[in-house]
Structure 1
Amino acid sequence: MATVELRFSPLPEHVRTARLVAAAVARRAGVDEAVLDEVRLAVGEACTRAVGLHQSGGISAPVRVALIEEEKQFSIEVGDEAPHAVAPAGASGAAPDAADDPDAEGEDEMGLAVISGLVDDVEVSAGADGGLIRMTWPTTPATLLP
Structure 2
Amino acid sequence: MATVELRFSALPEHVRTARLVAAAVARRVGVDESVLDEVRLAVGEACSRAVGLHQRAGVLGGAVRVALTDQEKRFLIEVEDEAGPMSVPAPGADEDADEDMLGLAVITGLVEDLEVTNGVRGGLIRMSWPVPADVLAR
TM-score calculated relative to the size of structure 2 = 0.89
- 1:129 positional shift: 3.3
How do residues 1-146 of structure 1 correspond to structure 2 at under 5 angstroms?
1-59=1-59, 60-84=61-85, 86=87, 93=88, 95=90, 102-126=94-118, 129-140=121-132, 141=135, 144=138
- Opposite residue 81 of structure 1, the aligned amino acid is E
| Bigger radius of gyration | 1
Gaps of 5+ in 2: none
Moved more, 76-85 or 59-68: 76-85
Q: 1:106 to 1:25 in 2, by over 3 A?
A: same
- Sequence identity (%): 67
Aligned mates of 1:19, 1:39 — CA distance in 2:
8
Aligned mates of 1:40, 1:51 — CA distance in 2:
16
- Opposite residue 9 of structure 2, the aligned amino acid is S
Aligned mates of 2:21, 2:4 — CA distance in 1:
9
For the residue of structure 1 that corresponds to 2:124, the secondary structure is strand
Gaps of 5+ in 1: 87-92
Q: Kindly tell me the number of residue pairs found equivalent between the two proteins.
A: 134
Q: 1:94 to 1:48 in 2, by over 3 A?
A: closer
- 1:105 positional shift: 1.1
Q: 1:55 to 1:31 in 2, by over 3 A?
A: same
User: After superposition, what is the alpha-carbon deviation per residue over 1:106-145, rounded to whole angstroms, capped at 9, x for unaligned?
Assistant: 111110000000111100003783100001000022565x
Give 4+ residue runs of structure 1 displaced > 2 Å after superposition: 83-86, 93-96, 126-129
The structure that is helix-richer by fraction is 2
